[in-house]
Amino acid sequence: MGAYKEPHGGELKNLYLDEAGVKTEQQAARDYVSWDLTPRQACDLELLLNGAFSPLEGFLTQSEYDAVLTTMRLPSGVLWPMPITLDVSQEFADQVEPGQAIALRDQEGVLLATLTVDDKWTPDKQREAELAFGTTDAKHPAVNYLLNTAGPVYLGGKLKGVEPPTHYDFRLLRDTPEELRERFAKLGWRKVVAFQTRNPLHRAHQELTFRAAREAEANLLIHPVVGMTKPGDVDHYTRVRCYEHVLEQYPEQTTSLSLLPLAMRMAGPREALWHAIIRKNYGCTHFIVGRDHAGPGDDSNGQPFYGPYDAQELFREHEAELDITMVPFKMMVYVEDRAEYVPADETKPDEKVLNISGTEFRRRLQEGLEIPDWFSYPKVVAELRRSYPPRQAQGFTVFFTGLSGSGKSTIANALLVKLLESGGRNVTLLDGDIVRKNLSSELGFSKEHRDLNIQRIGFVAAEITKNGGVAICAPIAPYAHTRQAVRDMIEPVGGFLEIHVATPLEVCEERDRKGLYAKARAGIIKEFTGISDPYEVPESPEMSIDTLALTPELAAHRIFVKLESLGFIR
């Protein structure tokens, strides 16, 4: 590649078959058992096939996996810090023996590649977590994935690529390592510094990356991750629109943008090395490593998993053999009197330094507060405001839970009327009985059916919330884990308030407005909540209502006031 250094560990891999090979493989794969790739596996596969993970030629075999975990190297001695494994279910693994080939398909069933299985093994996941991520704490996103999502069996072996996973979004901004190397060559860029990011860019980032490129006398590649990042991050559609605005801020022809479909692990130091190797494969010569690079946040004890400069240290130890140069990130701060960004270690003691933390920035967005021009670009802020409107324009769900006859429906109806009276909101009531008639008419009251019923309610409420509406749900929802699942579905897309209507069983039974408790006691109705079926009392609902002390109107009023105080209603 002319001016470019060799890819990591030798030649740049390209695991795609040629046209004739694809036809033959498609034919052969008809007889193979098929594995439908998870979103994370699809990301890994794409970067394996196009050479971004060179020198890997497939998912790690058991000996490669052991070597990577214990030495951060492949058995050949080449540095490779991240276990890239194909995890499958036990049921699937039982159909596969070493030596056999399997078809790897996307979620729609399209054949993307085949894998000739060399090894099949059951990994010790605790050991993997400890060795790869330095912890078994499931607050670490990759540990959580490993322990709670990944399948129990790994398959390792070489890949034959049939076609890349399809992307319909931002196609012109997606490049293979080969394409990016070609682009650099065409542009005459001999030195390229890459900037890895999973966040929107603001002025400090522009200043930092521009300085980094100038210091390295290199051109700049903004190389954001659009595969899988940290749960809760700004979605990549919004981010890419922001990046395009920030691109206008660099001198013309100096900077390029390309999207990387990587599934991040948030593995700090090991991840920094991995990121650098990937960028080298894409033809970059320099890589920016910042404070807390690919940091997973805090552990269960509120302590950071890695030290803020561990990634820079590990990189420095291996820089010689990595053959890509680190540009250490200098934290940039805004100096008011000078009206410019400078590295934090270059400010004078008497200078007033301004900064807005990520948390403060999100709070300002959420509450529709001012975001100063010194912090970001008006176009970037407008883009973020469009995707993350203040709470009064966000959807929310009020989820009542409580025993039959506790008063859920009455309070839910009173709240509905209050919201309609005050206006400006589209409200849908998903009352237990209404749902049972319309959405879940075939379901009974076994645990399985109740869970299914609540999941359906949660799904509909999440859709309503995502689209800016208000959902009021009022089922019994007796199981804590199902209520939690509904919360997990809704919180990322809007507000969620769990309201426990805490009327005691004796009172519900005494009221017995529908005559169901009498029937339940007589054994005519089976599996009746509170009588012959469990109700798990919510441990930390947003509100608990004592219907003995409050009328339904007052209860609805209290919820309304809570919604106002949270900013959901004006």
Query: Catalytic residue positions?
Result: 197-199
453 binds ligand PPS (CB under 6 A): yes
437 binds ligand PPS (CB under 6 A): no
Q: What angle do CA 289, 293, 299 make, to 5 degrees?
A: 165
Q: Which is nearer to ligand PPS, 492 or 523 (by Cβ)? A: 523
Q: What is the SS3 assignment for 366?
A: helix
CB of 450 to ligand PPS, least distance (A): 4
CB of 473 to ligand PPS, least distance (A): 9
Q: Which is nearer to ligand PPS, 7 or 405 (by Cβ)? A: 405
CB of 404 to ligand PPS, least distance (A): 3
Member of 65, 80, 445, 560 binding ligand PPS (CB under 6 A): 445
Cα separation, 468 vs 394, whole angstroms: 5
Cα separation, 212 vs 198, whole angstroms: 18
Please count the helices (runs of H) and the strands (runs of E) in the chain. 20, 19
Q: Which is nearer to ligand PPS, 100 or 413 (by Cβ)? A: 413
432 binds ligand PPS (CB under 6 A): yes
CB of 457 to ligand PPS, least distance (A): 8
CB of 500 to ligand PPS, least distance (A): 13
Member of 36, 207, 323, 527 binding ligand PPS (CB under 6 A): 527
Cis? peptide before 165, omega within 30° of 0: no
521 binds ligand PPS (CB under 6 A): no
Return contacts of 362-368, CB within 8 angstroms, 24+ apart: 362/388, 365/390, 366/390, 366/391, 366/567, 367/391, 367/567, 368/392
Member of 54, 394, 529, 547 binding ligand PPS (CB under 6 A): 529
Residue 376 exposure: Cα atoms within 13 Å on the Cβ side: 24
Contact partners, residue 4, CB within 8 Å, separation at least 6: 181, 184, 185, 283, 285
Contact indicator for 374, 339 with CB cutoff of 8 Å: yes
CB of 513 to ligand PPS, least distance (A): 8
Member of 84, 102, 288, 516 binding ligand PPS (CB under 6 A): 516
Member of 475, 494, 541, 552 binding ligand PPS (CB under 6 A): 475
Residue with tokens 């922001």: 242
538 binds ligand PPS (CB under 6 A): no
Q: Which is nearer to ligand PPS, 244 or 512 (by Cβ)? A: 512
476 binds ligand PPS (CB under 6 A): yes
Cβ-closest residue to ligand PPS? 432
CB of 459 to ligand PPS, least distance (A): 14
Member of 258, 404, 410, 503 binding ligand PPS (CB under 6 A): 404
Q: Which is nearer to ligand PPS, 6 or 433 (by Cβ)? A: 433
Q: Which is nearer to ligand PPS, 146 or 435 (by Cβ)? A: 435
410 binds ligand PPS (CB under 6 A): no
Length of the chain: 570
Which residues inside 220-279 make contact with ligand PPS, applying CB under 6 A? none
**Among candidates 57, 78, 54, 56, which has minimal Cα distance to 67?**
78
What DSSP letter does each residue of 177-233 carry, written as one string?
A: HHHHHHHHHHHT-S-EEEEEESS---HHHHHHHHHHHHHTT-EEEEEEB-SB-STTP
127: phi then psi, degrees, rounded to nearest 5: -65, -45
429 binds ligand PPS (CB under 6 A): no
CB of 454 to ligand PPS, least distance (A): 6
Q: Cα 122 vs. chain centroid, distance in angstroms?
A: 26
405 binds ligand PPS (CB under 6 A): yes
Member of 77, 514, 537, 546 binding ligand PPS (CB under 6 A): 514
547 binds ligand PPS (CB under 6 A): no
Cα separation, 93 vs 123, whole angstroms: 13
Q: What angle do CA 219, 222, 228 make, to 5 degrees?
A: 155
Strand partners for 499: 400, 543
Member of 217, 317, 351, 433 binding ligand PPS (CB under 6 A): 433
Cα separation, 257 vs 251, whole angstroms: 14
CB of 417 to ligand PPS, least distance (A): 18
Q: Rule CB under 6 A: which residues touch ligand PPS?
A: 404-405, 409, 432-433, 435-436, 445, 450, 453-454, 475-478, 514, 516, 525, 527-529, 533
